[in-house]
Amino acid sequence: MQEMIESGLLVVVTILSIILLCIGQGKNSGMTKKQKVMLWRILIATVLLLGLQLLGAEAFDQLGAAGRWVRLALHLVDYLIIGYDILKKAFKGILNRQVFDENFLMAVATLGALALAIYENGEYLEVIAVMLFYQVGEWFQSYAVGRSRRNISDLMDIRPESANLEDAEGNVSVVDPDDVEIGSIIVVKPGEKIPLDGKVVSGESTLNTAALTGESKPRFVHPGSEIISGCVNGDGLLKLRTTKLYGESTVAKILDMVENSSLKKARAENFITKFAHYYTPAVCIGALVLAILPPLVLGGGWLTWISRALTFLVISCPCALVISIPLSFFGGIGGASRCGILIKGGNYLEALANTSIAVFDKTGTLTRGVFAVSQVSPANGCTEKELLEQAALAESFSSHPISKSLREACGELDARRATDAQEIAGHGVRTMMDDSKITYTKNTGTGTVVYVARDGQFLGSVLIADEVKEHSKQAIAALKAQGVRTIMLTGDSEAVASEISGQLGLDEYHAGLLPGDKVDQIEKLIAEKRPKENLAFVGDGINDAPVLSRADIGIAMGALGSDAAIEAADVVLMDDDPAKIALAMRIARRTKGIVYQNIVFALAIKAACLLLGALGIANMWAAIFADVGVMVLAVLNATRALYTKDLVKKDKLD
């Protein structure tokens, strides 16, 4: 029965290898040359081992005394085909005084088992099968890691290869982006990546910002529009005047951040690294004791206990933990970046998962940070259109943001109709009107109120307010659903803060704060929170750098227009959507869950199989499952962190 199972497993590996090799021949297979070579080795070693099993020892017995050595030689060839690189790495580790790793464990275990098989003239199947299935597991691990890296590389394929530089005579030459100076004119053709940050000087087009924001909605640009590098130009020809060198551009900073994210390890990653550092030598000593002590104490049975010790070594390989834990965090960071959420390291991903308090700046974070007309209240005998038109005419020569919002609300406007305009500092604009002795109706709305009169007659009032972002209310609701306490800090008045807080459903707010006051509030909230809970501050990354730095985790909004956001924060949202904060926390919490699932699963299986191996109940086939099987399952589980479609869908439904 066991021989049928063993042969069946070899047939399955053979068929799987052939299928994967066929897939690997395609251009889009994603397999590296090294992975294809490994598949060929697995296939050849499996077919040779299957053939030797089908022949059986009896076929070699017919050759007489030489039959034993021919059989050994063929099995040694098979062993070296599948395991020569493991032996090579183990030997190099010994030379470099870095002995205790999985390569050393596999080399000692299989060479020891091979020596026992030669001594007993026994079966070589288990020896080669252990190495074979270990390499199958290594291939799956390599492919999973490679796939995760490719997904992130494809997503972050925003590095420009060249720039079309236009000289003073209008001639265009292709140059390296690093060679383009500030103030140069570059030409961006349809379908090309924007190589440097700049301002449109001519042309109109749409930009695909999906690689930066995770959103497919195109962004329309025209002369005067600010453009960041990394976007893809649509169907129009654009000419840009560069505003930054390539090394200081948005795309360069993003790529640097993503590439260095693996250097900032989470506590779980550091724990596994330290664990493996002590664990591997410990199990080697344990295997040595298991091989020597029982025969000395109980007497005899050396081969039995040596065999158990070798099985113990195979079971003890820490591959599942060493590989799957970093892969989980890497996948979580990659999955978040596909949604336009850049997390600077596994430590920040882990901190985000433990966040229970989210503190928001108001302007530019929960609100757009721009003034807009929110209410038009005409007096008797005046229409809304007429009221807006008169207000816009009065403000047609002012550069104040409120004036701009009135002109935008009015639409088309002939500024020549406005005459005798006078702007009085601190009092607004007066044109063809005298605001004294005019009876008016007070507007009690929250925001900035503009009162309009003409020829001494009150026409009405216009309320100007900072607009709440489209998804702010959804963002707050999603965070509260996850048990996160939501707080707003603002320098605005009590009335404005109260209205925004009530509109969004915040847990609490603090108004009238100066930048220093915000830091004091954060200090107070940090002192009040429970141990192991984290506080996140969400700001625009420009004026909130001190608070972003003081919080347990800083989240920057509006990265499309802010260098300070990328520099100051631990997490950067590549668009202005606050709803991405809840999504980032979902991704972080699921990643953390996957990490702990793998830790518990791997350690539990290892502990059980180590005990069974020491007692002689588990053989080499059980060792293969405890090592390779657990590693493959843990790696496959870890790759789930990369896929976020279900979380994005849940966010949209919420």
Residue 221 burial (10 A CB sphere; 0-12, 13-18, 19+): buried
Do the Cβ atoms of 235 and 206 come closer than 8 Å?
yes
Among 286, 315, 313, which Cα is nearest to 111's? Answer: 313
Marked catalytic residue, from 78, 101, 197, 361: 361
Q: How far apart are CA 578 and CA 466, in angstroms?
A: 16
Q: For the chain, percent helix, then strand, then coil, each to nearest 5?
A: 55, 15, 25
Do the Cβ atoms of 331 and 642 come closer than 8 Å?
yes
Q: Chain centroid to CA 592: how far?
A: 13
Q: Is 435 a catalytic residue?
A: no
- Residues 6 or more apart in contact with residue 28 via CB below 8 angstroms: none
Do the Cβ atoms of 392 and 405 come closer than 8 Å?
no
Q: Which helix (H) or strand (E) is 141 found in, with range?
A: helix 125-155
Do the Cβ atoms of 618 and 612 come closer than 8 Å?
yes
String of DSSP letters for 578-598 = THHHHHHHHHHHHHHHHHHHH
Q: Which helix (H) or strand (E) is 97 found in, with range?
A: none
Residue 636: half-sphere exposure toward Cβ, Cα within 13 Å = 9
Q: How many CB atoms lie within 10 A of CB 338?
A: 21
- Residues catalogued as catalytic: 361
